[in-house]
Amino acid sequence: MQPLMGFALGRKVFVPGAVEVAAQQAIALVAAGIRRAAALIVTYADTRSALKVLHHAHELRPNLAVIVRTQDDHDLDKLMQAGATEVVPEVIEGSLMLGSHALVLLGVPESLELAEERLLER
């Protein structure tokens, strides 16, 4: 299987053929293993596609944690109302990564780094 540009389930990443079309259909999520997934990560740039995946995911697994990555926070409320557990805009994701790398380079223990990230999330 190849790396996916659209969605990930648990610890594995899947791409069953035409990702943009397939992942928007419930059968693709079932084939990728949504029934045994610990979480679902949706990384479409297109909000409409992400909303379709959210819809099918919640039909199949209503309590599954779904994390959606977006380009910005423009559709954050829409995605949260559609059932996303978390929405992470790329801008924030990039800033957190920069901070994380800086802490590692400064020798800050990983446990303190994680505590700092949790404080920033609030």
Phi-psi region of 41 (alpha: psi -120 to 50; beta: other; left: phi over 0): beta
Res 63 pLDDT > 90: yes
Report residue 121's pLDDT band, with 50, 70 and 90 as the boundaries: low
For 17-59, the pLDDT digits (tens) are 444 445 557 888 888 788 888 888 888 778 988 899 899 999 9
Look at residue 51 and give its three-state secondary structure. helix
| Pairing label, strands 86-89, 12-13 | unpaired
Q: Which domains does the chain have, with CATH numbers?
A: 7-89 (3.40.50.720)
Edge to edge, the sheet with strand 65-70 lists 12-13, 7-9, 39-42, 65-70, 86-89
Give the whole-angstrom CA distance, residue 46 versus residue 32: 21
Report how far apart, in Å, the C-alpha atoms of 3 and of each of 6, 12, 16, 26 are: 9, 9, 10, 20
Prediction pTM value: 0.65
